[in-house]
Amino acid sequence: MPLSSGGSLQTLNVLKNQTSAVSFPPLGKNLRVLLVWPKFPPSFWGFEGVLQMLPEAAMTPPLGLVTVAALCPPTWTLRLLDHAFDEIRDEDYRWADLILVSSMHAQRTDTLAILRRARALGTRTFIGGPWASSEPEVVRLEADHVMVGEAEEVFAGIAEALENGTAHDVYHVIDKPDMSASPIPRFDLLRRDKYTSMPVQFSRGCPFQCDFCDIITIYGRKPRGKSSIQLIAELDRLRELGWRNEVFIVDDNFIGNSKNALQLAKDLAVWGKRHNRPFSFYTEASVDLADRPELMQAMVEANFMYVFLGIETPSSEALKGSKKFQNLRKDNLEQVRIIQESGLWVLAGFIVGFDSDDATIFERQKEFIERTAITWAMAGMLQAPPTTPLYDRMKAEGRLIEDSSSISNFSAPNFRTAMPLPTLLHGLSRLLAELYEPKAFFARAFRSLEVWNTRPSQKPPDLPLSYNLSILMSSMWTQGVKSTYRGAYWSFLGTIVSHYWTNPTKLWMGSMVLLSAHHFLIYAKEVADELERDCAALDSAPQLPLTIPESVGAPA
């Protein structure tokens, strides 16, 4: 097939569906394309409880879809629907010549419903994104066209094939594109008033080799980045469109190439100072950020407020077993403290269920989280995503649960665990209940603000006073009057006002934490209760004994 101006045959494999003779008619050059972002189920990071008190309807929009939209031919008419808040009607499906879907694994239930409905109504479908890249054999059963990999260097050719009737059902993009080919996303297609933060991407890929991570298998271990000029052009576009809230730099490891990250942070600091710091930033990084004081200083100067760290576990055995060697180089507790004192508030992910974990891991996780004062601590189950070394190992050992319906880190693992499953479920349930008990949560939150060493360069988003007052009134009613934790709420509100009324940055972060309580305290309890119900159901059907190969290591 032709790939004019969109890549070469060296970058693309076309995989024909051998089960049926599929032929697709040409769609012509004046396509009407409906871009659809499926719903996420409730999750730890969905902040559904917070959204009850905000005028917005979702946390972040689909960056992948608006990036692909920028790759579409100018003759195509594009509409975007976010199923988090947009209804998708039959007439929307019938309007479109093509439904273009991007999806993550967690969205798969709604994704399948969207694809099946489009097929029932006779509308062509094309799917890409992380789920399609990790399980193309699953999505190809429901979608007409599937793309595995990244779109920048090949989509022009695929678009031409869709137009002229030579499109195939599965495309496998082999090469990782140069990020300099990535266009400014079509932010104009978004209903921007529906989101609390706006994503941009500086780099893809991560240099590490954690065996449970599909980032490195989908996007590669060689970080590829845009230039500072490119990213700042995207920020300028957001300013032109009137965006004034937070910006999420969605890189899975912002410091995968620390030299490039440093240059960007320095350039953002200059740009931000020139424009009175219109945005505050947050991102994700590995814990060895603590070893880069110049980079942290530049990030703070650029108005980064907080950073998500993949800490995972205080168990050195588990870190070794999962090949997360970057977390073994230094004391993680000390590294977190260095990052906090350098001006970045820390949130983090934690995992239980490694083969070396025993029943003490839950108390060890709790102790680490409390000592580091990590308020937003996402503690969940180890899962083995498709394409990862962990998935392959579990399959080779006969431990993979092929028909697992797990969609989150709060579901039972999709493999047979070394720790008895009831012990694992009950332990995580107890850990979440204790971490998100109201008094414990607010006490940890206050400690996190105390150890966070803010700088004068850090400035909260400049939002209208009327907006902030409306949220405050909604919070006071929802949390201060109606909630079961209202006593702890008023106590924390009084504490942050009395301590930080002269520090707008800490007062803003404290207010965010206050609002977040209505999500974390409620959702954590729901998950803990569900885990206990699952645990009770397992009591009558205990696990068969599990033998772990000596090369892997038995539980401690």
What DSSP assignment string belongs to 83-127? TTT----HHHHHH-SEEEEE--GGGHHHHHHHHHHHHHTT-EEEE
Lowest mean pLDDT among 98-112, 418-432, 481-495, 538-552: 538-552
Same domain flag for 235 and 360: yes
Same domain flag for 155 and 298: no
Reported as a pLDDT band with limits 50, 70 and 90, residue 6 is very low
Query: In the prediction, which pLDDT does 543 show?
Result: 56
- Domain span including residue 84: 9-173
Quick one: average pLDDT of 539-552?
Answer: 58
Q: Which two tokens stand for residue 95?
A: 């309007």
Query: In the prediction, which pLDDT does 550 show?
Result: 54
Same domain flag for 240 and 356: yes
Reported as a pLDDT band with limits 50, 70 and 90, residue 22 is low
3-state helix/strand/coil string of 419-467: CCHHHHHHHHHHHHHHHCCHHHHHHHHHHHHHHCCCCCCCCCCCCCHHH
Same domain flag for 103 and 187: no
Residue 113 lies in a domain: yes
Domain boundary at 157, 173, 189, which? 173
Domain boundary at 373, 394, 415, which? 394
3-state secondary structure of 183: coil
pLDDT tens-digit readout, 325-339: 999 999 999 999 999
Quick one: average pLDDT of 246-256?
Answer: 96
Closest by CA to 114, choosing from 23, 103, 106, 105, is: 103
Query: In the prediction, which pLDDT does 505 show?
Result: 98
Domain boundary at 348, 376, 394, which? 394
* Tally of domains within the chain: 2
pLDDT tens-digit readout, 343-364: 999 999 999 999 999 999 999 9
Cα–Cα dist 408/106, whole Å: 7
Is-contact 353 243, C-beta < 8 A? no
Is-contact 291 330, C-beta < 8 A? yes
Same domain flag for 153 and 236: no
Cα–Cα dist 337/340, whole Å: 5
Reported as a pLDDT band with limits 50, 70 and 90, residue 411 is confident
* CATH number of the domain bearing residue 110: 3.40.50.280
**Where does residue 277 fall: left (phi above 0), alpha (psi -120 to 50 degrees), or beta otherwise?**
left
Quick one: average pLDDT of 417-424?
Answer: 95
Lowest mean pLDDT among 6-10, 131-135, 256-260, 522-526: 6-10
The single residue listed with the structure tokens 């439904």 is 99
Query: In the prediction, which pLDDT does 410 show?
Result: 87
Same domain flag for 155 and 251: no
* Percent of the chain surpassing pLDDT 90: 87
pLDDT tens-digit readout, 271-324: 999 999 999 999 999 999 999 999 999 999 999 999 999 999 999 999 999 999
Residue 139 lies in a domain: yes
Residue 442 lies in a domain: no
Residue 230 lies in a domain: yes
Same domain flag for 144 and 69: yes
Reported as a pLDDT band with limits 50, 70 and 90, residue 409 is confident
Same domain flag for 34 and 98: yes
Same domain flag for 164 and 259: no
Residue 483 lies in a domain: no
pLDDT tens-digit readout, 30-53: 999 999 999 999 888 899 999 999
Cα–Cα dist 89/92, whole Å: 5
Residue 41 lies in a domain: yes
* Percent of the chain surpassing pLDDT 70: 93
Quick one: average pLDDT of 79-88?
Answer: 97
Any bridge partners for residue 348, and if so which? 309, 377
Residue 502 lies in a domain: no
Query: In the prediction, which pLDDT does 13 show?
Result: 65
What angle do helix axes 438-451 and 332-341 make, rounded to 10 degrees?
60
> Which is more confidently placed, 7 or 486?
486
Residue 378 lies in a domain: yes
* CATH number of the domain bearing residue 327: 3.20.20.70
Quick one: average pLDDT of 51-68?
Answer: 97
Cα–Cα dist 284/309, whole Å: 6
Same domain flag for 160 and 183: no
Query: In the prediction, which pLDDT does 14 show?
Result: 58
**Has residue 456 got a pLDDT over 70?**
yes
Query: In the prediction, which pLDDT does 7 show?
Result: 41
Residue ranges in 308-437 assigned as alpha helix (H):
316-321, 332-341, 361-372, 389-396, 421-435
Same domain flag for 123 and 221: no
**Has residue 414 got a pLDDT over 70?**
yes
First to last CA, the chain: 55
Query: In the prediction, which pLDDT does 404 show?
Result: 80
Quick one: average pLDDT of 516-537?
Answer: 94
Query: In the prediction, which pLDDT does 15 show?
Result: 52
Q: What is the mean pLDDT of the chain?
A: 93
Query: In the prediction, which pLDDT does 181 show?
Result: 84
Same domain flag for 164 and 307: no
